[in-house]
Amino acid sequence: MTPQLQAATARITQEVSAMPTGMDGVHRTVADLDDLLGVLSSFTRLLSAAVEHLPDSTDVLSFDQVGEPIPPDVACNNAAIHVQAAAAGIDQAQTAIRAAHHITGRLHN
């Protein structure tokens, strides 16, 4: 993990112990989570593109005893597809958080 991601993970882990309980705090935290998920989705999509363009090797890769070896570009493409699927899941989470933010905003006013 990069130092920046490690630091962000540590800060978020610390925030769990200070979870807000009041409506104002929950509403602000949901908004912050919406922002975080947006950044995480963008980062994940960039990571997918980086993974897709990784192969510097021409050696084939063998993943198990049974399967046929595959070229690195195919392996990287498959990995990129999974990272893109993760980004799509983050997008779905962000949509749900936006709905929660809207609801808490209505309760907050």
Report the percent of the chain where pLDDT is more than 90: 37
**Is 96 in contact with 37 (CB distance < 8 Å)?**
no
How much is the pLDDT for 102? 92
pLDDT-derived band at 107 (thresholds 50, 70, 90) equals confident
Domain boundaries, position 102: 29-54+73-109
Looking at the 3D structure of the chain, how many domains does it have? Answer: 1
Residue 17 resides in a domain: no
Residue 23 resides in a domain: no
Cα separation, 33 vs 38, whole angstroms: 9
> Is pTM, for the whole model, over 0.85?
no
Q: List helix spans (H) across 17-109.
A: 23-52, 72-108
